[in-house]
């Protein structure tokens, strides 16, 4: 996950350059402050997000400013951090016991840890009206023991985003349906002088996607569920995932310098694909928007999408999907206005703008009708027809386990660990929690 990972991540519609912007001030030392003392009943909402790229870095302030105009007693202080910086900051804030009033969450084990520490507001009743307008599947990552602790604003899955022109040049007639076909297509692309895959190796979580999906395709959802229950990742599905990933790595499919490349950084994964310098990337629903933003152009009509292929002899099926959503949680002491603002963020007008931007998948009931892009419709259909769903591994488990997954898989891709060592280290981390 992690835009993530920008989870994984949040990106919204472009608006005019003249749009007003709310102050992106640094977080106060004491987050979740609520009312400003001595300010005549005025309320300040600390909002910490990951909207560092267009169009979201422009639209979020626009929405916040519109809310302030309608609610003169409320001031929204928005701080945007890049994905990895956000995760580091949240780790420190969680340890301090003081979270922002509103903050991005991808759910799973990270959110559960914050809930167990008594730092997150239960929204089951406080936001019931808003939650009733949200699709049930998009709320699952934020529900524990029958209670809901965050409001989703995006829901999607990871798949391959590819350049149709490159595939045509390499003589690839259709997207691969099996891992063997995928590896063969990688060879064809290399033979045609095309970099097959862009990878943000520096950020680590993009590489984790391959290992996670391969484990799902080999062992099916039962293997994922059993590992989560037993904290044992030493089974055939996970060792096999490493072995199949090594098959890919041995083909040297990634762009030069991939290990020092970030996901959305200049010259990184998204920029490489967006500039037409690589044939594909394995990424979430936000990929085309980030490719365009990072490269300055994107590949437009050449963009295609296909689900992660099946593994011959595996127990999993292509309709088992891996991904997650983006949501906003509230600190335990967040003011009631914070709930009201989230309802404003996801009102009909704003939701239509978010979905039509191409950056978000719909979460409000009925908003799927706003989708027009054929690739995004494919993603929506794959989600709607999914037979199993696995949350990002670096979010599904406690932070230390998720980090170990990312670190170990990155080491495997870098040729520094074996598939067996990856499985052993992740198991050790999981059993230590």
Which residue segment(s) compose the domain that 140 sits in? 43-157+324-388
Q: Are residues 188 and 281 in the same domain?
A: yes
How many Cα atoms within 13 Å fall on the side-chain side of residue 245? 33
Whether residue 215 lies inside any domain: the answer is yes
pLDDT at 21: 31
pLDDT at 40: 53
Whether residue 24 lies inside any domain: the answer is no
Between the alpha carbon of residue 14 and those of residues 18, 298, 316, 354, 424, the distances in Å are 11, 15, 39, 9, 45
β-pairing verdict for 147-148 and 150-157:
unpaired
Beta carbons of 334 and 190 less than 8 angstroms apart? no
Q: Are residues 404 and 301 in the same domain?
A: yes
Could you tell me the CATH number of the domain that includes residue 424?
3.40.190.10
Q: Which residue has the tokens 């050449």?
A: 302
Q: Are residues 175 and 301 in the same domain?
A: yes
Whether residue 34 lies inside any domain: the answer is no
Whether residue 166 lies inside any domain: the answer is yes
Whether residue 286 lies inside any domain: the answer is yes
Q: Are residues 398 and 275 in the same domain?
A: yes
Whether residue 112 lies inside any domain: the answer is yes
Whether residue 81 lies inside any domain: the answer is yes
Q: Are residues 293 and 405 in the same domain?
A: yes
DSSP code per residue over 101-164 = SEEEE--HHHHHHHHHTT-B--HHHHTHHHHTTB-GGGGGGGEETTEE-EEEEEEEE-EEEEEH
Q: Are residues 191 and 274 in the same domain?
A: yes
Q: Are residues 336 and 359 in the same domain?
A: yes
Structure tokens that stand for 423 in this block? 């499985």
Q: Are residues 242 and 355 in the same domain?
A: no
Whether residue 403 lies inside any domain: the answer is yes
- H or E element, residue 303: strand 303-306
Flag whether the pTM goes above 0.85. no
Q: Are residues 104 and 205 in the same domain?
A: no
Q: Are residues 305 and 416 in the same domain?
A: yes
Q: Which DSSP symbol is given to 31? A: -
Q: Are residues 407 and 361 in the same domain?
A: no
Mean pLDDT (10-residue bins), the chain, 433 residues: 39 28 36 44 95 83 96 97 92 95 94 96 97 90 95 94 98 98 98 98 97 98 95 97 98 97 94 98 92 93 97 95 94 97 94 83 87 90 87 89 96 98 98 91
Q: Are residues 308 and 272 in the same domain?
A: yes
Between the alpha carbon of residue 143 and those of residues 62, 115, 227, 342, the distances in Å are 30, 11, 20, 17
pLDDT at 384: 80
Q: Which residues contact 121 (CB under 8 A, 6 or more apart)?
A: 149, 329, 330, 331, 332, 333, 334
**How many domains does the chain contain in total?**
2
Rounded CA separation 153/184 (Å):
38
pLDDT at 1: 47
Q: Which residues contact 314 (CB under 8 A, 6 or more apart)?
A: 217, 218, 219, 220
């Amino acid at each position: 996950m992690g835009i993530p990972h920008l989870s994984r991540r949040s990106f919204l519609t472009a608006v005019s350059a003249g749009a007003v912007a709310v102050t992106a001030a640094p977080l106060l030392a004491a987050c979740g402050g609520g009312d400003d003392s001595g300010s005549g009943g005025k309320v300040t909402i600390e909002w910490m997000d990951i909207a560092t790229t267009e169009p979201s870095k422009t639209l979020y302030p626009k929405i916040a400013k519109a809310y302030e105009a309608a609610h003169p007693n409320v001031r929204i202080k928005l701080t945007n951090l890049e994905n990895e910086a956000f995760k580091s900051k949240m780790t420190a804030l969680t340890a301090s016991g003081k979270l922002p009033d509103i903050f991005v969450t991808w759910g799973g084990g990270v959110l559960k840890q914050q809930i167990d520490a008594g730092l997150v507001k239960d929204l089951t009743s406080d936001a019931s009206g808003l939650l009733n307008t949200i699709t049930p599947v998009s709320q699952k990552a934020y529900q524990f023991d029958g209670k809901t602790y965050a409001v989703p604003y995006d829901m999607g899955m990871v798949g391959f985003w590819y350049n149709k022109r490159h595939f045509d040049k390499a003589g690839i007639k259709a997207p691969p349906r099996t891992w063997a076909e995928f590896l063969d297509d990688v060879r064809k692309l290399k033979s045609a002088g095309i970099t097959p895959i862009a990878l943000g190796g520096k950020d680590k979580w993009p590489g984790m996607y391959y290992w996670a999906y391969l484990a799902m395709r080999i062992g099916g959802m039962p293997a994922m569920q059993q590992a989560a229950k037993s904290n044992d990742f030493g089974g055939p599905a996970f060792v096999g995932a490493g072995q199949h990933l090594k098959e890919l790595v041995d083909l040297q499919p990634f762009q030069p310098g991939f290990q020092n490349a970030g996901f959305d950084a200049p010259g990184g994964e998204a920029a490489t694909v967006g500039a037409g310098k690589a044939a594909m990337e394995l990424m979430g629903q936000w990929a085309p928007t980030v490719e365009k933003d990072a490269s300055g152009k994107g590949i437009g009509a050449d963009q295609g999408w296909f689900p992660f292929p099946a593994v011959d002899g595996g127990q999993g099926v292509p309709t088992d999907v891996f991904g997650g959503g983006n949501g906003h949680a509230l600190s335990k002491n967040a003011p009631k206005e914070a709930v009201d603002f989230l309802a404003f963020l996801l009102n009909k007008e704003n939701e239509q703008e978010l979905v039509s931007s191409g950056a978000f998948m719909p979460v409000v009931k009925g908003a799927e009708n706003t989708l027009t892009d054929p690739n995004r419709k494919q993603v929506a259909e794959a989600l709607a027809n999914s037979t199993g769903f696995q949350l990002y591994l670096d979010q599904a488990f406690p932070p230390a386990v998720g980090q170990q997954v990312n670190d170990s898989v990155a080491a495997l891709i870098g040729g520094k660990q074996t598939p067996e060592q990856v499985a052993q280290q992740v198991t050790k981390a999981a059993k230590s929690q």
